[in-house]
Amino acid sequence: MDVRLVQLAAGIDPAENREHVDARLGALEPGPQLVVLPEATMTDFGPTDLDLDQFAEPLDGPFVDLLARHARRLGATVVAGSFEKREDAPPFNTLVVVGPDGGLTATYRKIHLYDSFGYRESDRLSAGELSPVTIEVAGRTIGLMTCYDLRFPELARLLVDAGADTLVIPAAWVAGEGKLHHWRTLLTARAIENTVHVLAAAQGGRRYTGHSLVLDPSGSIVVEAGEGDETLSAVLDPDEPGRTRATNPSLANRRIPPRGDRT
């Protein structure tokens, strides 16, 4: 599977962000089967008192329309972070998935809101339902997670139990002391413990850590970005998870079964 991770720094003006995304996606040539952009690509979180509802859009709004146009041109599946408009409730922090035909094929509404490190995402956004979301791309089953979800290994394991051999994790990972270490370590752990590819597309710039990553099922870094705008390219071997699991059959060796299978 040929993939691209687009690292960028979003602002709080949705129109300016669409121009930026249009330019970044427009620079890609057809060929990748999967293109991943960060969490909150549609508009950044901004100051903690910013009302995100004023920027949220329905799933047929201009941001998704832009992604659909590029998905059709590239013949690729595009995943990106948005804020989804709701009636009489705070928006969802939503990953939208647009297929090669330009149709909206899936959404993942962030389950674990970032109420940590002195921040309260739940003051401005609604949490999604407690159900894993997977998509199919180029014969691969891909599990979707968003940023803070990375700190909850049970979600990654639920996705793997649902058939995922790849995890896609768009993020706006806030910078700070030790945060880059947490980012790399947790991504590596999710790859190793689940023997899956991990694709993490992060926001860069001053506020966030950047360092988008592609990891193989043994936890080795395939490619890593720096802190600024950058596009990563990788080709994932579909047989690599199986080879890794033959050497390290930790999933098969589990003695504590998934919750639904316990008696």
pLDDT in tens, 93-112: 999 999 999 999 999 999 99
- 109 three-state secondary structure: strand
Give pLDDT, residue 262: 55
Global pTM value: 0.96
Q: How far apart are CA 168 and CA 166, in angstroms?
A: 7
- 189 three-state secondary structure: helix
Beta bridge partners of 211: none
Q: How far apart are CA 1 and CA 76, in angstroms?
A: 11
Is residue 141 within 8 Å of 108, Cβ to Cβ?
Answer: no
Sheet containing 77-84: order of strands? 104-109, 92-98, 77-84, 34-36, 2-7, 230-235
Chain segment 50-99, per-residue pLDDT in tens: 999 999 999 999 999 999 999 999 999 999 999 999 999 999 999 999 99
Active site residues: 39, 110, 147
Chain segment 114-158, per-residue pLDDT in tens: 999 989 999 999 999 999 999 999 999 999 999 999 999 999 999
The whole-chain average pLDDT of the chain stands at 96
* Chain length of the chain: 263
Residue whose token pair is 């699991």: 245
Chain segment 151-179, per-residue pLDDT in tens: 999 999 999 999 999 999 999 999 999 99
CATH architecture of the domain with residue range 2-261: 4-Layer Sandwich (3.60)
Question: What are the residue boundaries of the structural domains of the chain, listed by start?
Answer: 2-261
Give pLDDT, residue 257: 76
In degrees to the nearest 10, what's the CA dihedral of 69, 72, 75, 78?
Answer: 40
- Give the contacts of 202 (CB within 8 A, at least 6 positions apart): 7, 38, 170, 171, 172, 173, 183, 208, 209, 210, 211, 212, 213, 225
Q: How far apart are CA 83 and CA 95, in angstroms?
A: 8
The secondary element (H helix, E strand) that includes residue 224 is strand 221-224
Give pLDDT, residue 260: 60
Q: Is the dihedral of CA 252, 254, 255, 257 positive or negative?
A: negative
